[in-house]
Chains A and B, each alone.
Chain A
Amino acid sequence: MTTESSPYSGADRSPGLPAGGPNPPTQPDPAAGQSLGREAWRRLKQNKAAMVSLWLLGAITLACLFGPYLLPWGLAEVDWNAFNSPPSLTDGHYLGTDANGRDLLVRTLYGGRISLSVALIATLVSLVIGVLYGAISGYMGGRTDNLMMRFVDIMYSLPFMFLVILMMVVFGRSILLIYAAIGAVEWLDMARIVRGQTLALKRREFVEAAHALGVSDRKIITRHMIPNAIGPVIVYVTLTVPKVILLESFLSFLGLGVQEPLTSWGVLINAGTNMMQTAPWMLLVPSVFLALTLFCLNFLGDGLRDALDPKTR
């Protein structure tokens, strides 16, 4: 990996390095028109850690989607012959059972559906709303910025639990509610981060040049602001996913999230913690799935950040 990871102004002139040194890089065919997307994919493919992560994530997702149908046990099916049984290859409970005699692998895969979908949807919500909101606020500046950010402050100051309970009273209990509630708070941080980036970016001369060309504000935001703020955004997304998964388990623990017999990784880990002494597999199995997913996301995030930065090759 090159040391030039930061995509911002300073990286152009890192001290001590020969400035006029190795400029013309290895561009295979300069005349061939390659889009940023295809270029980024080419660079991502060169990153081994990111590619392995991508495959693993795909495998975990597929397993969660289709795995339960291939296994002989149901989500809430109790095996009266196996309570608290450790992982074994002989009785068909490959990763053991829980205190109620339900197959842990099946439950973990079902739990993965909930956890991954919460992570995916809440992160997407935070990404779309947060990035747009932050970019608009930062770019417009002045009074607009002030008003938009004060609204964010108000949202911050609302107690999260209060918000969830309120929504539950109004809309009734449903899994969609968790998505909505988590998405509604997660975009706030993202908006702050993107706004900060935008404030720094809008003083750059290329934005002024775009302005002088007569480019509309909307285009400046989508073409110049957001693409240049993408590095920190991706890093933050990889931090948001674990946060969201844990937030969901917290809600479930309080009885506000998914309910038995449905489950999620967070719920399983929580249950496993109680049995840590006597049945460690009940903690280990969902934890390994969660940890693996988070590792993969981090590597993939790093890889994506580098791949989307034209400076790395």
Chain B
Amino acid sequence: MAHKLLEIDDLCVDFQLPDGDVAAVSHVSLTLAKGETLALVGESGSGKSVTSTAILRLLPELARTRGAIRFNGEDLLGVPNRRMRELRGNRIATVFQEPMTSLNPLHRVGDQIKEVLRLHRGLRGQAARTKVIDLLDQVGIPDPARRATSYPHELSGGQRQRVMIAMALACEPDLLIADEPTTALDVTVQAQILGLLRELQQRYGMAILFITHDLGIVRHFADRVCVMRRGELLEQGPTAEVFANPHHDYTRMLIDAEPSGSKAPVAESSPLLLEAHDVRVLFAIKRRWFGHSDYFEAVRGIDVQLKRGQTLGIVGESGSGKSTLGRALLRLLESRGEIRFDDTDIAHLEGSAMRPMRKRMQVVFQDPFGSLSPRLTVGEIIGEGLRVHHPELNRAARDRRVQQALSEVSLDPGMRNRYPHEFSGGQRQRIAIARALVLQPEFLLLDEPTSALDRSVQATVIELLRELQRKHDLTYLFISHDLAVVRALADSVLVMKEGQVIEHGDTQALFDNPREPYTRELMRAAFMGEAA
């Protein structure tokens, strides 16, 4: 490939923080040819997004950039701001991760695309309108003329991302920077968006710099791949080569981080621990002071049976009601129907009568940033349940229990006086697990406990959960959209869609031989990386 569209030569980015410089990117060199797809892969903090932001010169003030970024031979680090504005959105376009926040909620999507056309192409009036509809049509939005007058909140996540792509395509850029464009989307939508990007790339011959943490996508999508860690470029090469023969241990670890193994079945005689019948959850959409309120039924009559020591996986896309079901079973949400826990009817226990049961059923949430109160120390967070359920413990005894719980999740008990923000995502998730474990529960609701974590960290958390289950004979309800994780952890699986059970069966049987078309579609989208 003779003509290089983008050449990054020895790029270094330092952030000048009050307590010293932090190197976010050090000595990265890479090239991208016309029409090529290059994937920049790495876990959080690897500097992949900083690299792409540096290309657009959109880094915050405190960043110092050295090296060279040549785009069509022009060094972007040297050109004046005015020239940079001409390039952004015009020759170099971007699609971000979060389609909700990257569109202005107060403007119609058509107008937002028009703005790009007006800025860079000088198109106005009817000409702009026609072009907008044409673009929306190209990215596969049904009824584009009507959709152009919609507001962002009226579109689904996938459609919003399509609008973002339409906006990026408006000026037929030479380079499209896609920063985790499918991470926030459901797997089936993700597959569609990737297909669309590929199709558009062929049509326009643009180069794509694809930033992601998901190796499954890379294998399927990219021509070449660059692996980054802690700001350094570890390895680059053609995708097939890197996957077949990774040179660096870290790359190999990333490729192997896919969870493996399966759950050993529990004894046939194991008693039933959790049993729910015809659970329904209603959300009020519009509450009225008088008369009937309008309701939305998020969970529509679901039965659950879980034996002691078992793990039930619940999978489904966003909005399927899987988290709502989990919360209803723990009585965190009002629901209808029967819920029995160890032969106690808990569906109708009120307030203080429910409290003794809470000790036996605990929960770990998805977001390791949101699930720990930032104003309490880790020790206080873990000890809180003990204050409620074991008021007889004095301070020293409570502290001992907290330390035990911390060492059980392989954290240093000496860190109990620190605050949550001082810990990494994986460590915080361990803290959340410790908070649940300190009460010695029998049942744990795991609501996407690994989804916000990097692959390598995810593997260790899964290992921890497995070990704890074996040791304490715990019963898990594991909610996830990640089929690979569920396959490795669950005895049986419940596939949910729109508040209903689509399919239910033993993990092995269900994964080997899915009956319903929806399940099959989910699996095809989730495991496309492996199939390739």
Contact = CB atoms under 8 A, between A and B. Distances in A.
Interface in B371-422: 371-377, 381, 384-385, 388-389, 414-415, 417-419, 421-422
A36 interface: yes
A2 B18 contact: yes
Contact of B24 (A1, A21, A210, A227): A21
B334 to A, nearest CB: 11
Interface string A3-33: 1000101001101111111111111001111
Given A205-B370, A213-B358, A22 B22 contact: yes
Contacts of B46: 20
A43 interface: no
B166 interface: no
Contacts of A13: 369
Contact of A215 (B18, B24, B45, B384): B384
Interface size class of B (residues with CB under 8 A): 35 or more
Contacts of B417: 30-34
B432 interface: yes
B422 A23 contact: yes
A89 interface: no
Given A310-B421, A311-B374, A212 B358 contact: yes
A97 B123 CA distance: 72
Interface string B242-263: 0000000000000000000000
B456 to A, nearest CB: 12
A2 B417 CA distance: 22
Contact of B418 (A2, A27, A228): A27
A223 B17 contact: no
Given A23-B422, A206-B373, A212 B363 contact: yes
Contacts of B149: none
A208 interface: yes
Q: Is the interface of B mostly helix, strand, loop or mixed?
A: loop
Interface in B345-373: 354-355, 358-359, 361-363, 365-367, 369-373
Contacts of B375: 36, 227-228, 230, 308-310
A204 interface: yes
Contacts of B63: 16
Interface residues of A, number: 49
B371 A213 contact: no
B523 interface: no
Interface string A212-239: 1111100100011001101000000000
Given A18-B22, A212-B363, A228 B44 contact: no
Contacts of A213: 358, 362, 384-385, 388-389, 435, 439
Contact of A19 (B45, B372, B422): B45
B84 interface: no
Contacts of B316: none
A254 interface: no
Contact of B362 (A212, A227, A309): A212
A193 B372 CA distance: 23
Contacts of A215: 384-385, 388
A97 B456 CA distance: 76
Nearest to B60: A16
Contacts of A16: 49-50, 53, 58-60, 63
A45 interface: no
Contacts of A25: 422
Contact of B365 (A2, A205, A227): A205
Interface in B220-267: 230-231
Given A21-B15, A22-B19, A224-B373, 6 more contacts: A30-B417, A209-B371, A228-B375, A309-B375, A310-B374, A311-B374
Interface of A: 1-3, 7, 9, 12-13, 15-27, 30-34, 36, 142, 204-206, 208-216, 219, 223-224, 227-228, 230, 308-311
27 contacts: A7-B374, A9-B369, A15-B49, A16-B50, A18-B47, A19-B45, A20-B43, A20-B44, A27-B422, A31-B417, A36-B375, A205-B366, A205-B371, A206-B370, A206-B381, A208-B332, A209-B432, A212-B363, A213-B384, A214-B354, A214-B355, A214-B358, A214-B388, A224-B373, A228-B373, A228-B374, A309-B375
Interface of B: 15, 17-20, 22, 24, 43-47, 49-50, 53, 58-60, 62-63, 230-231, 287, 327, 330, 332, 354-355, 358-359, 361-363, 365-367, 369-377, 381, 384-385, 388-389, 414-415, 417-419, 421-424, 432, 435, 439
